A and B are shown apart, each in its own frame.
Chain A
Amino acid sequence: MAKHIVGTVAEIPPGARKIVEIGGRTIGIFNVNGEFFAVRNTCPHQGGPLCAGAQTGLREAPVPGEYTYTRLGEILRCPWHGWEFDIRTGQSWWNPDQVRTRAYKVSVEEGPQADMPCGASGPQPGPYTAETYPVAVEQRFVVVEVP
């Protein structure tokens, strides 16, 4: 597993997403109410760009006609056939044991950390062109781990 920086926290405010390419894979990073999740941008059904789909809540009905709507923003619908996926786990909302898209562990880290070894196992710059910018000490980076 290698870590890749995909952007800053400020770039991906709550409700927003960012789609990036890392080593031949396309991955979408989502900020859901302050928590970050990353999902591979390929629907297990027919390969559609899953992360370009609508983000909704989970609509359920214990009894026909009586609706509950929870987990707002945590459900991703494939833009092709509408399959629903749990952004947190990558699980398809139906028959979760059978269909799953890869969910990648995402962490929010305070920049390169003193206790994190640099080099091959440390955070890797993502698809950025090397440029320098002033960065505030408080600024936090979003880092994605990818096999």
Chain B
Amino acid sequence: MLETPSVATVQPPAHPAEQPIAAAASRQRTAIIDCDIHNALPSEKTLHKYLSARWRRHLETVGMRGPYGSAYPRLYPNAARHDAWPPSGLPPGADLDFLRAQLLDGWQIDYGILNCLFGVGGQLNLEFGAALAQAMNDWQVAEWVEPEPRLRASLLVPYEDGELAAAEIDRMGSHPAFAQVLLIARTAQPLGARKYWKLYEAAARHNLPIGIHFGGGGGGPITGSGWPSFYIEDHGGMPQAFQAQIISLVYAGVFDHFPTLKFVLIEGGFAWLPPLMWRMDALWQTLGAEVPHLTQPPSSYIRKHFWLTTQPIEEPPQRAYFDQLLDHLNMNDRLMFATDYPHWDFDAPDRAIPPHLDHRLRRAIMADNAAVLYGLDIGDQEIGSAPENGSA
């Protein structure tokens, strides 16, 4: 008689992927600040207790309305990693406990910056957008930052109206929960336009950086020559929007007017920035008389006023090109690591940043630069020691 092997229920693997725990155990721990995490509403009903009766009714009857006709179906539902759907049934990013386990604890993240993409800034009804912003910010404080001390939030504002946006910044800008103000990259006008200046004034008043995050649709085609057909063009084409915003902010003199202002470019990549700086500097040599308020080359303004998150990490075909990129960019103290959790183009903390980088540069990117910008305490890490111009 054959012996029958036992058959029992197999336990699923304890961790989503075996690498991080093994890697973390074998490696000296490095501080990690994740500069782009997306917290999400469980549902619109969550907002009801933070809204007045009038706006609750508006949300239930008319609802959110932005410029339609600009959506491209994304790779996965909610643009999320397939494995980021919480077992609780909430949408990705909406379950704080699951986010703690899968991201903060799972990767030993010291601090995370929340960039909530609930589209309050894109609302065509500006007063409604302002009401939603207030409700969202109150929700973020109560249900994200207060229960989880590792998290900071970004202040949502109805950015297409400078005064309404300034009012919300003045209302909540001093609250320690907020690390920055949040804008979305494709706005209705280029961000150097004067209608946004009251927002900048308020952010400067509260010494808050302004994050510009991937996404959005300002009401016109998402390229300068019409509407693309495919998601790869929407997703892969976002650098063009970031570039347009930098061009506008610098040449319009926003930094001459608001010399303390800081911007964080989130989820745009960064390899396109050196060629943009070269182009802007060359044009300033020839056409600079049109913008006499600029007293330095555009690249100087960019290096002074911008920070960049690393995700989606650039993947050139040769390792040497990455090193050259960092040299051309010359912003080693401005690059900040981000995962973009829970989105599909997630960058893993242990794999995304090329392993050959100098360890001081790695630490600067993984934590120090963000610690300085956002005023976060990561213990006895050396601050401000990003090596100049280069990596290995």
Which residues from chain A sit less than 8 Å from chain B, CB to CB?
5-8, 18-21, 24-26, 41-42, 46-49, 52-54, 77, 79-82, 111-112, 125-135, 141
Q: Is B17 an interface residue (CB 8 A)?
A: yes
Interface size class of B (residues with CB under 8 A): 20 to 34
Can you list 19 A-B pairs, Cβ within 8 angstroms, ordered by A?
A: A5-B5, A6-B10, A19-B12, A41-B13, A41-B17, A46-B352, A47-B17, A48-B81, A49-B17, A54-B76, A79-B76, A81-B345, A82-B75, A128-B5, A128-B7, A129-B6, A129-B8, A132-B6, A141-B5
Chain B residue with Cβ nearest A134: B4
> Beyond the given A24-B22, A25-B18, A125-B6, could you list 17 further A-B residue pairs with CB under 8 A, ordered by the A residue number?
A21-B14, A26-B17, A42-B18, A47-B17, A48-B83, A48-B348, A54-B82, A79-B83, A80-B346, A81-B345, A81-B346, A111-B2, A112-B5, A128-B7, A132-B6, A133-B4, A133-B6
B323-366 CB contact bits vs A (8 Å, 1 = yes)? 00000000000000000000011111011100000000000000
Contacts of A134 in B (CB 8 A): 4
Cα(A141)–Cα(B2), bound, Å: 13
Cα(A77)–Cα(B4), bound, Å: 36
Contacts of B350 in A (CB 8 A): 47
Chain B residue with Cβ nearest A54: B82
B1-29 CB contact bits vs A (8 Å, 1 = yes)? 01111111011111011111010000000
Cα(A97)–Cα(B3), bound, Å: 44
Which listed residue, A42, A46, A112, touches B3 by the CB 8 Å rule? A112
Contacts of A131 in B (CB 8 A): 6-8
Cα(A87)–Cα(B55), bound, Å: 51
Contacts of B3 in A (CB 8 A): 112
Contacts of B76 in A (CB 8 A): 54, 79, 82
Contacts of B20 in A (CB 8 A): 47
Cα(A128)–Cα(B2), bound, Å: 18
Chain A residue with Cβ nearest B84: A79
Decide if A7 touches B10 in the complex (CB within 8 Å). yes
Q: In the A-B complex, list the 3 residue pairs whose CB atoms are closest, starting with the nearest.
A: A79-B82, A135-B4, A46-B351
Decide if B352 touches A24 in the complex (CB within 8 Å). no
Contacts of A112 in B (CB 8 A): 2-3, 5
Query: Shortest CB–CB separation between residue B357 and chain A, in angstroms?
Result: 16
Which listed residue, B4, B10, B18, touches A41 by the CB 8 Å rule? B18
Which residues from chain B sit less than 8 Å from chain A, CB to CB?
2-8, 10-14, 16-20, 22, 75-76, 81-83, 344-348, 350-352
Cα(A19)–Cα(B14), bound, Å: 11
Cα(A139)–Cα(B22), bound, Å: 37
Query: Shortest CB–CB separation between residue A84 and chain B, in angstroms?
Result: 11
Cα(A79)–Cα(B16), bound, Å: 11
Chain A residue with Cβ nearest B80: A79
Decide if A82 touches B7 in the complex (CB within 8 Å). no
Contacts of B11 in A (CB 8 A): 21, 127
Decide if B13 touches A21 in the complex (CB within 8 Å). yes
Contacts known (A52-B83, A54-B82); A7 close to B17, Cβ less than 8 A? no
Chain A residue with Cβ nearest B18: A26
Chain B residue with Cβ nearest A52: B83
Contacts of B2 in A (CB 8 A): 111-112
Decide if A81 touches B5 in the complex (CB within 8 Å). no
Contacts of A18 in B (CB 8 A): 10
Chain B residue with Cβ nearest A128: B8
Cα(A127)–Cα(B13), bound, Å: 11
Cα(A133)–Cα(B9), bound, Å: 12
Decide if B81 touches A80 in the complex (CB within 8 Å). yes
Chain A residue with Cβ nearest B20: A47
Contacts known (A6-B10, A53-B82, A141-B5); A46 close to B348, Cβ less than 8 A? yes
Cα(A94)–Cα(B13), bound, Å: 29
Contacts of A80 in B (CB 8 A): 81-82, 344-346, 348
Contacts of A135 in B (CB 8 A): 4, 7
Chain A residue with Cβ nearest B313: A46
Decide if B81 touches A26 in the complex (CB within 8 Å). no
Which listed residue, A54, A126, A130, touches B10 by the CB 8 Å rule? A126
Query: Shortest CB–CB separation between residue B86 and chain A, in angstroms?
Result: 14
